[in-house]
Amino acid sequence: MTSHPRGLQAELASLTTEAFRPELAEIDRLPTLGIARLMNGEDAGVAAAVGTRLPQIAAAIDAIAPRMTRGGRLLYAGAGTAGRLGVLDASECPPTFNSPPGQVVGLIAGGPAAMVTSVEGAEDSAEMARADLDALDLTPDDTVVGISASGRTPYAIGAVEHARALGALTVGLSCNEHSALAAAAEHGIEVVVGPELLTGSTRLKAGTAQKLVLNMLSTITMIRLGKTYGNLMVDVRASNEKLRARSRRIVSLATGASDAETERALTESGGEVKNAILVILAGVDGPTAARLLEESGGHLRAALAVAGT
């Protein structure tokens, strides 16, 4: 159902993210350095705003991780900037954590074309969100994170409501308090960063806040899934020369092995960093390392414990 223009205008005027700041009415007359200083000052408070929501973020991650251990997926759903941020975070997971491409998915209202152009009416369609999720055959082990700066975007709310009805875990990420999106989700995360430098341009502070939270959701979940060893990305996919060099460095940092020993272990393990570390630290061969990791659910520390290291 389409909102009456005047009603929508009044609704937007009530949102913190849409508030007009009279003190910035002459910003276009300032020197460039002055505008840059203003923007930098605005951005400085974003991390602190995220910090006030750490308990809610941690609770969401602690609910997401066991579902993903059982084979569930992490699905982001949003429109415009929020949708693009979800797609970006999802696209970074395979090269960073060697996760299957379908394990973390970003859905944007209007489909891939909306990454670069506006798709008319897409963000207002809860039906489109339901169709996008149905195409993925949602299961109770999946998690759907609706993303919307305003917290009122029908596409994001529709995605969360539909996912929750199907038994999936739901998270609502917004930048206004008492949002409809947070109310619709099991886990509401409302990071209030205040009015924007440019009225209603929520790709600024709100977008930065959303990016920080999505970084936490995916990164800490992957840590919980055993994708790291300490702060080393041991599931990195060595798909180019830079990443192959990083793989060698990670093995060396984790084990203290010489360059020659590192190369031998990586060769023995088919280039798999986690396996190579286990080969060196546990003194096993490549097949044994692969078996120990499989039995330990891919957790290197657990595999080392089984090997008695």
Closest to 13 in 3D by CA, of 24, 5, 23: 5
Asked if 75 and 89 count as a contact pair (C-beta separation under 8 A), the reply is: no
User: The tokens of 208 are what?
Assistant: 């930065």
Catalytic-residue membership of 127: no
In angstroms, what CA-CA distances link 61 with 174, 199, 206, 281? 16, 32, 21, 30
In angstroms, what CA-CA distances link 305 with 173, 228, 295, 301? 38, 16, 12, 6
Catalytic-residue membership of 123: yes
Catalytic residue among 92, 186, 261, 263: 92
Q: How many Å apart are CA 290 and CA 10, to the nearest integer?
A: 60
Asked if 54 and 63 count as a contact pair (C-beta separation under 8 A), the reply is: no
Catalytic residue among 42, 123, 268, 272: 123
Element (H, E) at 146: strand 143-147
Asked if 133 and 109 count as a contact pair (C-beta separation under 8 A), the reply is: no
Could you give the residue numbers annotated as active site? 92, 123
